[in-house]
Structures are given as C-alpha cells and as structure tokens.
Amino acid sequence: MKITRRNLLAASAAFAVTPALAQGAKNMTLVVPFPPGGSTDALARLLQSHLQTKLSRTVLVENKSGAAGSLGAIQVAKSAPDGATFLVTFDSHAVIPSILEKPGVDVEKDLVPVFLVGTAPYVVAANAERPYKNFADVVAACKKNPGAVKYASVGIGTLGHLAMTVLGKKAGVEITHVPYRGGGPAMNDVLGGHVDMIVGSAALITAQLGTNMLRPILQMGRERMPVLKDTQTAIEAGFPDFETLAWWGIFAPKDTPADVIAAMAKSVKEILSEPAVATQLQETQQMTLLLADGKAFSTFFAKQVGIWGQVVRENNIKA
C-alpha cells in the first residue's frame, strides 16, 4: 500500500481512539440497573464478550437493580470518569426525574449519553390459560370487574407501565399494575399464573412464544412485526396514533473525556454492526438498530424525558 499523508492521518486517528479504552489498568464494568434475565442484561452480556476481545481488557457486568433503575444510575454517576464504568440501561432511565421525589441522580447532568443501540415495540401478552384473545377482551373484563385484571411490568415508570396507564385511561377502565424489578421476575410470575398479563418489550415477550404458555394480544408499534403478524397494533385496536417503543442505551459519568466517549461509541457500533451480532439482536430481541452516537442520542433522550415525564405528572405516578 502506498504511504500517503491521508493514510498516516487515518491510522493515527484509529490508534488514538482505541487506547482511550484499552490502556486502562482497571477492569471495565457495565452496570445494568435491573436483575439478570431481562433484555437489558442480555444486551450488556453480549457487549461484554465482544468488548473483552476487542479491547483486550476484562469487562464485567454488574446488576444493580432497584428504585426504578436509579440505583444503578447513581452508582455510575458517582464513578470515576475514566472509561472504566458505563451504564447499560433501558427506557425507564428517562422517567427517573419525574417519578422519584428524590432520585439521587440528575440523569441529564450527571450522566453523558454515549450510544443509543435501538428500539423495539412494547407488547402486551396474557397467560395462555386466561380468556383474553385481544385487548378488547381485557377492556370488557375490566369493565365487568374493575381492578380484577392484573398485569406485570418490568418496573414502575418503565414505558410499558406508562403506556398501559394511558391505554387504560383512554379505554375508561382500571387495569391493576403489578411492578417487578426486571423482565425475568415479571415473566416468571405471568407464566406461573400469578399475574394475568405482562407488558414488556418485544424482546422479552417473543422469547416465550414457543412455550405455548403466553398469548400476545397487543403490540404498540405502528405496524405489525412479522413475528407477531396475527397480533393487532394499538392503533388497529382503536387508539389512534398510539405508539410506544422500548429503547436501550449506554451512558457514562459526567466529565468522562470526549475521546473516551467517542472510543466507546465507536467500539460498540463496530460490534453491533457485525452481521452476525446485528442479526442476533434483530431476531432474538426484535430490535430495530439505530446505532446512534452521543449527539443524536442526547436529542432523542431529551425528547423521551419530556414526553413521558408529562404522562407521569398527569397521572400522579410515583415509584
């Protein structure tokens, strides 16, 4: 290859990005603010294995659940801004400021958006032994016996919980919310028949469809997903322009150097752009990969804070 000034500059830039993450003596920790078993945990563990290989550095996943995801966020916010600690989190992160009276972390000031991985529609599914075939059946049951129908979510303030609150209000019914600290515990209780239904990301719901123990009854994307082609959308069910998407993203402590942020975003984008990895997320997590860097993620995140914060306030939801 002919050595040119352009080639040298490109090589220097590539070299400058990698050491920002790889040269640290500390292990890298990916903090997940939910228990093992959910979609966020699965994403973190996927990244863990690939980052270890890519950076030649030990990468750990630590599950720090509780307080609507704020405990994990607080831990990362208080960590040294040296590229050793990152938060891999879920959509409820945008609701922390509005749902907690004293959150202990300012999600817009104490943490820096690094990378927006992707989105997936929320889905409502019922224990297969329950009589609900669609959302209209749920509404009818709630009108007949207010408060008797119970649904699980992956936590207070997750978009699934807020979406069900809005749907119940629009339908004029009360659907009893049973919050859990993550997707694994919530799903276990629905499959066990302790709760009638669950609202969760498509990633969480579709993983159980082959068991014949769960029946999807509503999806919240604008169009039906191929894997749920027989399940109506909320728009089709009579809720115009209603859409709720789960999302997954990565944050770092404030004051983390810009080159470290860029290096992490670059590494994650390269990993998730690999065809085998992208296919895995698309098929097992039902994700639409966005692969957006910090600037685009910041804009997206600010909108999420505004939209769902308003829902929290209007319905007086508290953790």
Mean pLDDT, range 206-231, rounded to an integer: 93
Burial per residue of 100-130, b for 16 or more beta-carbon CB atoms within 10 angstroms, e otherwise: beebebebbebbbbbbbbbbbbbbbbbbeeb
Tokens standing for residue 128: 């297969």
Kindly report, residue by residue over 23-70, the tens digit of the pLDDT. Answer: 555 899 999 998 888 789 999 999 999 999 999 999 999 999 988 889
Overall domain count for the chain? 2
Whole-angstrom Cα distance, residue 158 to residue 304? 12
Which domain does 250 fall in, by range? Answer: 5-119+246-314
Q: Is residue 240 part of a domain?
A: no
3-state SS of 128-181 is CCCCCCCHHHHHHHHHHCCCCCEEEECCCCCHHHHHHHHHHHHHCCCCEEEECC
Q: What pLDDT was estimated at residue 11? A: 42
Query: Considering 228, 256, 283, which residue would you say is the last residue of a domain?
Result: 228
Q: Is residue 45 part of a domain?
A: yes
Q: What pLDDT was estimated at residue 58? A: 95
Kindly report, residue by residue over 139-189, the tens digit of the pLDDT. Answer: 999 999 999 999 999 888 889 999 999 999 999 999 999 999 888 899 999
We report the CATH number of the domain holding residue 38 as 3.40.190.150
Mean pLDDT, range 284-298, rounded to an integer: 93
User: Do 169 and 183 reside in the same domain of the chain?
Assistant: yes
17 pLDDT higher than 50: no
Query: Considering 228, 258, 276, which residue would you say is the last residue of a domain?
Result: 228
Whole-angstrom Cα distance, residue 121 to residue 202? 6
Mean pLDDT, range 205-231, rounded to an integer: 93
**In this structure, is the dihedral angle defined by the CA atoms of residues 274, 277, 283 and 287, taken in order, positive or negative?**
negative
Whole-angstrom Cα distance, residue 105 to residue 226? 39
Measured in Å, how far apart are the chain's first and last C-alpha atoms?
60
Q: What pLDDT was estimated at residue 23? A: 52
Burial (CB count <10 Å: 0-12, 13-18, 19+), residue 277: middle
- Beta-bridged to residue 127, according to DSSP, are 214
User: Do 139 and 164 reside in the same domain of the chain?
Assistant: yes
Share of the chain above pLDDT 70, in %: 92
Contacts of 207 (CB under 8 A, 6+ apart): 284
User: Do 115 and 258 reside in the same domain of the chain?
Assistant: yes
User: Do 114 and 12 reside in the same domain of the chain?
Assistant: yes
Share the mean pLDDT of the chain: 91
User: Do 169 and 263 reside in the same domain of the chain?
Assistant: no
User: Do 55 and 11 reside in the same domain of the chain?
Assistant: yes
Please report how the helices 183-191 and 39-55 are oriented relative to each other, as an axis angle in degrees rounded to 10. 140
Tokens standing for residue 238: 């009579």
Whole-angstrom Cα distance, residue 216 to residue 132? 9
Identify residue 215 by its one-letter amino acid code.
R
Tokens standing for residue 41: 């945990």
